[in-house]
């Protein structure tokens, strides 16, 4: 059988690392092929070779049976290969049509044929079910729509093979379903797609075949019918991993963190948080669900005081901390694991040991001087307790993988002995093994009696960990639900602002009797 794409024995060696070790990958016309593996397994390197970003040391690439040489992404595009990156490359003030033809010469002579482009775009959009309006400004589009603009850009250039790198990382459940519909439609129209992912569920839901990568090798290729999530996990890790967090039953204690009628304004005067009131109790995890950009980050920033607030009060252990600065709030017992672990949670240029005391620099001292020995000891203790893989505590923290860096930050914030833990997107971009250990640590902190506010875009994570889930939409809490009773669809509707749930003011109020009330 003739393949659309065939990658044979691809070898790519970076000094010290064999990123791609005799990898084979085939792709049929009209196929969705998942490339599954942990972070660092070599998925991205392989796709970057296919997209012409990296040269390969040996091996060959065949397109429609013809051997091709890809020296740059330009070559790849001319051969009909397109890639949607995790970070979109769109100009926000431009329209969909303008973004689409960016870099192309459309029209005759010096005049731009935006009209013609819009018509072609409209036609493509209809044929593939993208539902895009050519004249709409990209800045007014949702994340899911922006992703579809990226896809239509590729279709406009007549790409037959689409590479999507972690396409669902930034999407809501509804947007994810929408994307899958689009991809299935593309498949019907004879185009092929490679989905780079580490999410098993999506593979099973969407793909026709899957190639699993581990340590730079393609360990297996399976059709979806002949495999199972369980087998794929084993292939990915070489062992079995459990997906359900073991959450011990426990009665939450007294409220530790109280947020009353919080309002936050951004620079333009728009309210990003409009009167949020929440209570987090000792020994409970309060989840915050919501589509990104609905005020979650602002909520965390206001609690920690990285951002000023317009009105409202924040009470920590009965003390009003509304007018205290970051350092004072941290000293009084607020810990924070920010979403951006490389830009906020750590200083990537500094060593692991120096990062272990970030925020604690005034504590780890002897007299006037820093106690570097104590900092190193702390770093070693964190590495041991949280199973962080680091070549050395003197290595720059930026060299740690995402999961290990996250464990370092989480470990630092958990062990500094504060009662409240604000955790934002704790497992974003982490592989399954790292997710498992981060979840375990959060549950351990819950059992130790910490009050945890968990902000996450992953519903699965919230459902697994939270004692209660508050759903936020446009800066307002739509309702608080019991994860044991609520369905993904219900929470999804609340996330989209369509329906409100029943608000239960205290955790003990969520009882069996109320399960049916959540609409």
Partner 1 sequence: MAKLFERRLTPADSPLAIISRTTAAFLAAMLVAAFLFVSYGAHPLQAYFALFHEPFATLRGFGYTLARASPLALIGLGTIVTWRAGFSYLGFEGCFVLGSTSTAWLALSTASGGRIGHVPFFLFLSIAILFGFVSGGAWAGLVAVMRARFGGNEVLISLMSNYVAIFILQYTVSGPLRAPGSLPETRLLPRTTWLPFILPGTRAHAGILIALAAAGLVWTLLQKMPLGYELIVTGLNPLAARYAGIDVSRRFVLAAFLGGGLGALAGMVEVLGAQHRLMDGISGGMGFVGIIVALLARLNPLAVIPTALLYGGMSVGADAMQRRANIPSSITFILESLLVLLVLASDVLRYYEINASSLWCRSPQTVDGQASE
Count CB atoms within 10 A of the CB of residue 440: 13
Site stretch for partner 1 (CB under 8 A), options 92-100, 107-115, 250-258, 364-372: 364-372
CB-nearer residue toward partner 1: 249 or 268: 268
CA R_g for the chain: 25
What number of CA atoms fall less than 13 Å from residue 440's CA on the CB side?
13
Q: Sheet containing 271-281: which strands, arranged edge to edge?
A: 271-281, 255-265, 311-316, 319-320
Q: Which one of residues 71, 368, 417, 513 is an interface residue with partner 1 (CB under 8 A)?
A: 368
- The span from the CA of 160 to the CA of 37, in Å, is 24
CB-nearer residue toward partner 1: 131 or 326: 326
CB-nearer residue toward partner 1: 34 or 46: 46
CB-nearer residue toward partner 1: 315 or 347: 347
- The span from the CA of 400 to the CA of 416, in Å, is 21
Tell the smallest beta-carbon distance from residue 313 to partner 1 (Å): 21
CB-nearer residue toward partner 1: 359 or 507: 359
Tell the smallest beta-carbon distance from residue 96 to partner 1 (Å): 32
Nearest to 408 by CA among 354, 333, 327: 354
Opening angle at CA 290, ends 263 and 304, nearest 5: 45
Contact 438, 469 (CB under 8 A): no
Identify residues 205-234 at the interface with partner 1 (CB under 8 A).
none
Strands 285-289, 468-473: parallel, antiparallel or unpaired by DSSP? parallel
Q: Which one of residues 174, 221, 322, 365 is an interface residue with partner 1 (CB under 8 A)?
A: 365
- The span from the CA of 356 to the CA of 375, in Å, is 7
Contact 33, 27 (CB under 8 A): yes
Q: How far is CA 487 from CA 228, 481, 483, 491, 519, in A?
A: 24, 10, 8, 6, 10
Identify residues 389-408 at the interface with partner 1 (CB under 8 A).
399
- The span from the CA of 12 to the CA of 20, in Å, is 5
Contact string (CB under 8 A) for partner 1, positions 252-291, x = contact? ----------------------------------------
- The span from the CA of 341 to the CA of 355, in Å, is 11
Tell the smallest beta-carbon distance from residue 453 to partner 1 (Å): 16
Does residue 298 bind partner 1 (CB under 8 A)?
A: no
Tell the smallest beta-carbon distance from residue 465 to partner 1 (Å): 23
CB-nearer residue toward partner 1: 195 or 397: 397
Task: Give phi and psi for 290, each to the nearest 5.
Answer: 170, 155
| Residues binding partner 1: number (CB under 8 A) | 36
Which residues fall within 8 angstroms of residue 379, CB to CB, at 6 or more apart? Answer: 352, 353, 355, 356, 393
Which residues fall within 8 angstroms of residue 392, CB to CB, at 6 or more apart? Answer: 352
Tell the smallest beta-carbon distance from residue 197 to partner 1 (Å): 25
- The span from the CA of 464 to the CA of 154, in Å, is 37
Torsion angle (degrees, nearest 10) of CA 488, 430, 348, 419: 50
CB-nearer residue toward partner 1: 322 or 365: 365
Tell the smallest beta-carbon distance from residue 305 to partner 1 (Å): 9
Does residue 15 bind partner 1 (CB under 8 A)?
A: yes
Q: Which one of residues 369, 512, 513, 516 is an interface residue with partner 1 (CB under 8 A)?
A: 369
Tell the smallest beta-carbon distance from residue 7 to partner 1 (Å): 22
- The span from the CA of 373 to the CA of 370, in Å, is 9
Identify residues 304-363 at the interface with partner 1 (CB under 8 A).
304, 306, 325-331, 336, 338, 343-350, 354, 357-359, 361-362
Tell the smallest beta-carbon distance from residue 14 to partner 1 (Å): 5
Contact string (CB under 8 A) for partner 1, positions 16-55, x = contact? xx--------------------------------------
CB-nearer residue toward partner 1: 399 or 515: 399
Site stretch for partner 1 (CB under 8 A), options 10-18, 22-30, 431-439, 440-448: 10-18
Site stretch for partner 1 (CB under 8 A), options 56-64, 176-184, 209-217, 369-377: 369-377
CB-nearer residue toward partner 1: 346 or 437: 346
Count CB atoms within 10 A of the CB of residue 405: 24
CB-nearer residue toward partner 1: 97 or 316: 316
DSSP, collapsed to helix, strand or coil, labels residue 506 as coil
Contact 168, 197 (CB under 8 A): yes
Identify residues 425-484 at the interface with partner 1 (CB under 8 A).
none
Tell the smallest beta-carbon distance from residue 29 to partner 1 (Å): 36
Tell the smallest beta-carbon distance from residue 361 to partner 1 (Å): 5
Q: Which one of residues 14, 86, 181, 505 is an interface residue with partner 1 (CB under 8 A)?
A: 14
CB-nearer residue toward partner 1: 186 or 352: 352
CB-nearer residue toward partner 1: 336 or 439: 336
Tell the smallest beta-carbon distance from residue 492 to partner 1 (Å): 31
Nearest to 299 by CA among 283, 281, 276: 276
Q: In 191-218, which positions are buried (b, 16+ CB within 10 angstroms) versus exposed (e)?
A: bbbbbbbbbbebbeebbbbbbbbbebbb
Give 3-state DSSP helix, strand, coil % of the chain, rounded to 5.
35, 25, 40
CB-nearer residue toward partner 1: 104 or 395: 395
Residues of this chain that bind partner 1 (CB under 8 A):
14-17, 304, 306, 325-331, 336, 338, 343-350, 354, 357-359, 361-362, 364-365, 368-370, 372, 399
């Amino acid at each position: 059988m003739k393949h659309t794409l065939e990658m044979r024995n691809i070898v790519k060696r970076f000094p010290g690392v064999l990123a791609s070790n005799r990898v084979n990958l085939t792709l049929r016309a009209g196929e969705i092929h998942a490339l599954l593996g942990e972070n660092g397994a070599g998925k991205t390197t392989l796709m970057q070779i296919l997209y012409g970003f990296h040269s390969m040391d040996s091996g060959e690439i065949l397109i429609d049976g013809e051997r091709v040489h890809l020296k740059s992404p330009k070559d790849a595009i001319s051969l009909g290969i397109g890639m949607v990156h995790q970070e979109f490359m769109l100009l926000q003030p431009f329209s969909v049509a303008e973004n689409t033809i960016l870099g192309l010469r459309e029209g005759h002579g010096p005049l731009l044929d935006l009209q013609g482009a819009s018509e072609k775009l409209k036609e493509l959009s209809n044929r593939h079910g993208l539902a895009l309006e050519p004249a709409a400004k990209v800045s007014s589009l949702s994340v899911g729509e922006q992703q579809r603009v990226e896809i239509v850009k590729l279709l406009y250039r007549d790409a037959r093979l689409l590479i999507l790198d972690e396409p669902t990382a930034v999407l809501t459940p509804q947007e994810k379903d929408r994307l899958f519909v689009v991809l299935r439609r593309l498949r019907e129209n004879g185009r092929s797609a490679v989905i780079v992912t580490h999410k098993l569920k999506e593979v099973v839901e969407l793909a026709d075949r899957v190639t699993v990568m581990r340590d730079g090798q393609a360990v297996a290729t399976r059709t979806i019918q002949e495999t199972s999530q369980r087998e794929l996990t084993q292939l990915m890790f070489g062992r079995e991993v459990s997906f359900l967090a073991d959450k011990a039953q426990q009665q939450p204690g007294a409220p530790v963190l109280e947020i009353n009628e919080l309002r936050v304004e951004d620079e333009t005067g728009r309210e990003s948080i409009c009167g949020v009131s929440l209570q987090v109790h000792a020994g409970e995890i309060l989840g915050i669900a919501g589509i990104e950009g609905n005020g979650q980050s602002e909520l965390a920033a206001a609690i920690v005081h990285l951002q000023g607030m317009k009105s409202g009060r924040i009470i920590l252990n009965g003390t009003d901390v509304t007018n205290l600065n970051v350092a004072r709030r941290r000293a009084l017992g607020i810990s924070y694991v920010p979403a951006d672990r490389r830009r906020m949670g750590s200083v990537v240029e500094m060593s692991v040991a120096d990062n272990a005391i970030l925020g604690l620099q005034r504590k780890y001292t002897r007299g006037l001087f820093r106690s570097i020995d104590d900092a190193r000891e702390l770093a070693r203790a964190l590495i041991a307790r949280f199973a962080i893989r680091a070549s050395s505590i003197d290595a720059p923290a930026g060299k740690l993988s995402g999961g290990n860096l996250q464990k370092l930050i989480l470990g630092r914030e958990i062990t500094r002995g504060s009662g409240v833990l604000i955790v934002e997107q704790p497992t974003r971009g982490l592989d399954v093994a790292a997710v498992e250990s981060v979840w375990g640590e959060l549950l351990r902190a819950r059992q130790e009696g910490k009050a945890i506010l968990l902000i996450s875009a992953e519903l699965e994570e919230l459902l697994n960990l939270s004692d209660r889930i508050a759903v936020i939409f446009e800066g307002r809490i739509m309702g608080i639900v019991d994860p044991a009773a609520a369905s993904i669809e219900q929470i999804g509707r609340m996330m989209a602002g369509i329906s409100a749930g029943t608000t239960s003011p205290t955790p003990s109020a969520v009882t069996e009797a109320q399960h049916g009330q959540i609409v």
